[in-house]
């Protein structure tokens, strides 16, 4: 009797152990700061934290494997890799080859360029004074000064010959008086003496205040427009620029789909930054969180982020399509549960992602 009970117990134990036993998952990752950072052999970041929480909740055995983004995607598609601990952009192209958890973060692509030096800024400012808009405003200002200078000369040329007089010299004196009066310099070397001249002067003094304000604003506007026109503040402004991005990334796919012909792909952010420094590329096009991390670690202020938001991206964990459906469901539920709490929000804030 005791022997029979022992056999039954062993069978139940064997079945329970077999049910609870799971194969070791191959978890691929590609360092993608700030979501997944590898420093001195230690991995951390919100995305890796999320995967650890999932693994602990379901007692999952796994092995981490570092891969390039291209190899990670191929591994998930072929079934060699079971799960991606790195954030992957959910796209229709990828959904044909693998599954994803619900998205746990939304980001946009952005542009990173080299910072403008003080010398370049000075040259751009000087160049703005040579713009067509600036010369238009300056020409209009000279014209209005000439009109009132001519009127003043017309009334003063006979009654005040000493200060205005006839001919070109008189016209020049009228122009000079008009400019001095408008700017309220008040040298006093030219002053109207006739009734007509004083009436013109009175009108000019009151209207010049408004006119000079308007023309000052116009000149300032022309300089601003020229400066804005020389800068790039839209992704379409980079159509003919040599852009660099990560191969097989969501941004790479977006650039290809939107006909950006001048594009070079690299396998890592370090390679991209090196290419930008050596002028192999004009700018880096990639996910904004990753580019913000470059700026965060840019102690020499070499780069600037242009805040050009395009290509919205939804980040999720990639899953091998052949993975057990129940396990995929558990992982997805865990993603939602762990990203709905305050711990997730605090974590994102710590990594400057909020």
| Angular region, 186: left φ>0, alpha ψ -120 to 50, beta rest | left
Q: Which of 230, 261, 285 is the last residue of a domain?
A: 230
Give the C-alpha separation, 62 to 55, whole Å.
8
Q: Are residues 194 and 253 in the same domain?
A: no
Q: Are residues 213 and 250 in the same domain?
A: no
Asked if residue 12 is part of any domain, the answer here is: no
**Proportion of the chain above pLDDT 70, given as a percent:** 84
Q: Which CATH number is 275's domain given?
A: 3.40.190.10
Would you call 341 helix, strand, or coil by DSSP?
coil
The string of pLDDT tens digits covering residues 171-227 is: 888 888 888 888 877 777 788 888 888 888 888 888 888 877 776 776 666 555 545
Give the C-alpha separation, 69 to 29, whole Å.
8
**Which residue do the tokens 């152990």 mark?**
17
Q: Are residues 98 and 36 in the same domain?
A: yes
DSSP structural state of residue 234: S
Number of domains composing the chain: 3
Give the C-alpha separation, 19 to 13, whole Å.
10
Would you call 183 helix, strand, or coil by DSSP?
coil
Q: Are residues 208 and 137 in the same domain?
A: yes
DSSP-derived pairing of the beta strands 25-29 and 83-84 = parallel
Give the C-alpha separation, 354 to 351, whole Å.
8
Q: Comparing C-alpha atoms, which of 30, 90, 85 is closest to residue 62?
A: 85
Q: Which of 202, 230, 258 is the last residue of a domain?
A: 230
Asked if residue 339 is part of any domain, the answer here is: yes
Q: Which CATH number is 193's domain given?
A: 1.10.287.70
Q: Are residues 179 and 83 in the same domain?
A: no
Q: Are residues 262 and 332 in the same domain?
A: no
Q: Is the peptide bond before 34 cis (omega within 30 degrees of 0)?
A: yes
The string of pLDDT tens digits covering residues 110-168 is: 999 998 766 666 666 666 666 677 777 778 888 888 998 898 888 888 878 778 878 88
Q: Comparing C-alpha atoms, which of 107, 124, 143 is closest to residue 352?
A: 107
Asked if residue 169 is part of any domain, the answer here is: yes
Q: Are residues 132 and 196 in the same domain?
A: yes
Asked if residue 294 is part of any domain, the answer here is: yes
Q: Answer whether residue 259 shows pLDDT above 80.
A: yes
Asked if residue 274 is part of any domain, the answer here is: yes
Q: What is the pTM of this model?
A: 0.64
Write out the residue range of the structural domain in which residue 217 sits. 123-230
DSSP string, 276-301: HHTTSSSEEEEEHHHHHHHHHT-TT-
Q: Are residues 224 and 246 in the same domain?
A: no
Asked if residue 55 is part of any domain, the answer here is: yes
Q: Answer whether residue 313 shows pLDDT above 80.
A: yes
Give the C-alpha separation, 220 to 340, whole Å.
49
For helices 342-350 and 325-339, the axis angle rounded to 10 degrees is 70
Q: What is the mean pLDDT of the chain?
A: 85
Asked if residue 10 is part of any domain, the answer here is: no
Q: Are residues 225 and 238 in the same domain?
A: no
Confidence of residue 20 (pLDDT cuts 50, 70, 90): very low
Q: Are residues 249 and 200 in the same domain?
A: no
Asked if residue 31 is part of any domain, the answer here is: yes
DSSP-derived pairing of the beta strands 310-316 and 105-114 = antiparallel
Q: Which of 177, 195, 230 is the last residue of a domain?
A: 230
Contact (Cβ atoms closer than 8 angstroms) between residue 246 and residue 265: yes
Euclidean distance between the first and the last CA atom of the chain, given in angstroms as a whole number: 66
pLDDT attached to residue 138: 78
Q: Are residues 128 and 219 in the same domain?
A: yes
């Amino acid at each position: 009797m005791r022997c029979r009970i022992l056999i039954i117990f062993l069978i139940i134990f064997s079945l329970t152990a077999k049910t609870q036993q799971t194969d070791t998952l191959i978890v691929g990752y590609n360092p993608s700061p700030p979501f997944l950072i590898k420093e001195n052999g230690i991995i951390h970041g919100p995305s890796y934290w999320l995967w650890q929480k999932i693994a602990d909740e379901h007692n999952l055995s796994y092995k981490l494997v570092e891969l390039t983004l291209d190899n990670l995607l191929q591994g998930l598609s072929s079934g060699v890799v079971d799960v991606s601990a790195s954030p992957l952009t959910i796209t229709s192209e990828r959904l044909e080859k693998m599954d994803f958890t619900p998205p746990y973060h939304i980001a946009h692509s952005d542009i990173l360029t080299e910072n403008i030096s003080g010398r370049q800024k000075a040259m751009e400012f000087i160049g703005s004074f040579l713009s067509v808009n600036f010369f238009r405003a300056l020409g209009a200002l000279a014209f209005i000064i000439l009109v009132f200078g001519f009127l003043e000369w017309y009334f003063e040329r006979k009654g005040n010959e000493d200060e205005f007089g006839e001919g070109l010299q008189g016209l020049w004196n009228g122009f000079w008086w008009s400019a001095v009066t408008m700017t309220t310099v008040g040298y006093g070397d030219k002053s109207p003496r006739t009734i007509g001249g004083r009436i013109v002067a009175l009108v000019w003094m009151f209207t010049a205040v408004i006119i000079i304000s308007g023309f000052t604003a116009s000149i300032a506007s022309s300089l601003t427009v020229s400066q804005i026109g020389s800068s790039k503040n839209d992704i379409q402004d980079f159509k003919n620029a040599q852009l660099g991005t990560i191969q097989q990334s969501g941004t790479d796919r977006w650039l290809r789909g939107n006909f950006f012909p001048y594009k070079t792909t690299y396998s890592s952010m370090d390679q991209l930054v090196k290419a930008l420094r050596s002028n192999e590329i004009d700018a880096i096009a990639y996910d904004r969180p990753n580019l913000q991390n470059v700026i965060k670690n840019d102690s020499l202020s070499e780069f600037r982020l242009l805040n050009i938001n395009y290509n919205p991206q939804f980040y999720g964990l990639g899953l091998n399509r052949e993975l057990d459906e129940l396990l995929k469901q558990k992982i997805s539920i865990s993603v939602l549960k762990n990203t709905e709490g305050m711990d997730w929000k605090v974590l994102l804030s710590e990594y400057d992602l909020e």
